[in-house]
């Protein structure tokens, strides 16, 4: 999944920020969906790679995810999903593993629960 997140990063549409992001999402059944960030001249319409991958998976009928791998730009540091994406990932389970990678293939891991403590979720609205 780390290599696929690197590959899909090449498809990033980031002409404004030049901040390339690739993401690979592992479903419970082993299926992997990829996503990349898609920017827009109206900046607020930009969608992150994580949400891109999740929307693709959900639209194909998948709802149970085990892990998500994020490959950001070419920075030599670990970065994690933005707040909006953390909320989006948490919608599908607080035990989803989130991996952040560096260009050398090294990674760090945390659960979405660790990245989004005291989260707002389904039990708050149902």
Q: Please indicate if the annotation marks 41 as binding a ligand.
A: yes
Report residue 100 as tokens. 């952040």
Select from 67, 73, 85, 112 the one that contacts Zn ion (CB under 5 A).
85
Least distance (Å) between residue 53 CB and Zn ion? 11
Residue-by-residue DSSP string for 27-65: ETTS-EEEEE-B--SSGGG-B-HHHHHHHHHHHTT---E
Q: Please indicate if the annotation marks 85 as binding a ligand.
A: yes
Alpha-carbon distance of 84 to 14, in angstroms, equals: 18
10 tagged catalytic: no
Which residue is nearest to Zn ion, using beta carbons?
48
Select from 63, 82, 103, 105 the one that contacts Zn ion (CB under 5 A).
82
89 sits near Zn ion (criterion: CB under 5 A)? no
In what order do the strands lie in the sheet containing 97-101?
Answer: 32-36, 21-27, 65-72, 97-101, 107-111
Least distance (Å) between residue 98 CB and Zn ion? 12
Residues that bind Zn ion (CB under 5 A): 48, 82, 85
């Amino acid at each position: 999944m780390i290599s696929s997140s690197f590959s899909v990063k090449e498809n990033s549409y980031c002409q404004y920020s030049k901040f390339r992001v690739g993401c690979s999402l592992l479903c419970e059944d082993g299926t992997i969906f990829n996503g990349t960030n898609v920017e827009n001249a109206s900046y607020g319409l930009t969608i992150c790679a994580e949400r891109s991958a999740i929307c693709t998976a959900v639209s194909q009928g998948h709802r149970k995810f085990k892990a998500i791998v994020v490959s950001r730009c070419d920075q030599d540091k670990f970065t994690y999903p933005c707040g909006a994406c953390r909320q989006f990932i948490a919608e599908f389970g607080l035990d989803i593993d989130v991996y952040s990678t560096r260009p050398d293939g090294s990674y760090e891991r945390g659960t979405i629960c660790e990245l989004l403590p005291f989260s707002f979720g389904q039990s708050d609205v149902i």
